């Protein structure tokens, strides 16, 4: 009896983990979208439009792609584009800060 209970218990845990993992990947990437928007805003506020326009433009384009994917309920595509958008915005912000350090140094 203990064997059956533990076997069922383990099977239940495995199924729970698998289902959670599956649904976690398919969920709306709200946090990633928010992170991308905030990173773009920070880069723009720091002056990336003048000092790193290409990276900022790429970030904005990727965010728009993420929003389009979100509208089509392609949550994985939206997540991927949002993460890339945040990365490009971070690159733009780093370029601005690098320029600021060179000018002040």
Residue 30: which pLDDT band, with cuts at 50, 70 and 90? Answer: very high
- Which pTM value belongs to this model? 0.73
Token digits of residue 68? 């389009």
The residue among 61, 72, 86 whose CA lies nearest residue 28 is 72
Task: Give the SS3 label for residue 13.
Answer: helix
Residue 100: DSSP 8-state: H
More confident residue, 24 or 36: 36
The residue among 67, 72, 71, 68 whose CA lies nearest residue 32 is 67
The Cα-based distances of 92 to 35, 36, 97 in angstroms read 15, 12, 9
pLDDT for 63-94, tens place per residue? 999 999 999 999 999 999 999 999 999 999 99
Lowest mean pLDDT among 16-30, 40-54, 57-71, 86-100: 16-30
pLDDT for 32-41, tens place per residue? 999 999 999 9
The pLDDT score that the predictor gives to residue 11 is 65
The rounded distance, in Å, linking the Cα atoms of 32 and 86 is 8
The residue among 69, 58, 66 whose CA lies nearest residue 95 is 58
Angle CA 66–68–73, to nearest 5: 90
Look at the chain and count its residues.
105
């Amino acid at each position: 009896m203990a064997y059956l209970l533990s076997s069922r218990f383990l099977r239940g845990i495995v199924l729970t983990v698998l289902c959670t993992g599956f649904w976690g990947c398919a969920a709306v990437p709200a946090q990633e979208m928010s992170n991308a928007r905030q990173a773009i805003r920070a880069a723009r506020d720091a002056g990336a439009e003048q000092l790193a326009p290409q990276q900022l433009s790429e970030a904005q384009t990727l965010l728009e792609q993420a929003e389009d994917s979100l509208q089509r309920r392609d949550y994985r595509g939206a997540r991927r584009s949002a993460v890339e958008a945040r990365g490009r915005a971070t690159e733009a912000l780093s370029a601005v800060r690098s320029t600021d350090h060179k000018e002040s140094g």
